[in-house]
Structure 1
Amino acid sequence: MGLDDKISNAAQEAVGKAKQGIGDATDNERLEAEGHKDEASANAKQAGEHVKDAGKDVKDTFK
């Protein structure tokens, strides 16, 4: 996973958590749901990058 991807995913996750908190504090269900979506999207991207990294590690092991 490249550093740019890690930073982007972490930022998206942080924005999602912030939206959730603000939505919860203001009883804005739409904003809270959008925050959940943003955080889940960032987590999915991070998981995909981890799978790619693991595949690369396995490939490098058998070189």
Structure 2
Amino acid sequence: MAEDQKAKAKTEQAKGKAKEAAGRVLGNERLEAEGRAEQSKGDARQAKEKTKDVFRH
């Protein structure tokens, strides 16, 4: 289960970066903001999983 969440975090981060970059290229501030938000969501999920790992070991 933890590996699934880690993969999901990486996917969210990658999609967010792509959206942010696309928004920047297109001059679309909304898309850029959505990308940053998605990256943040992935960062938070990754931090949560890392914290869980610390307490498992």
TM-score normalised by L of structure 1: 0.84
Q: CA RMSD in A?
A: 1.1
TM-score normalised by L of structure 2: 0.92
If you compute each CA radius of gyration, which structure gives the higher value, 1 or 2?
1
Give ranges in structure 2 of 5+ residues lacking alignment. Answer: none
**Higher RCO, 1 or 2 (CA under 8 Å, sep at least 6)?**
2
Equivalent residue, structure 2, for 1:6: 6
Which 4+ residue blocks in structure 1 deviate beyond 4 angstroms?
A: none
Considering fraction of residues, name the structure with more helix: 2
Identity of aligned residues (%): 40
Give ranges in structure 1 of 5+ residues lacking alignment. Answer: 58-63
How many residue pairs get aligned? The number is 57
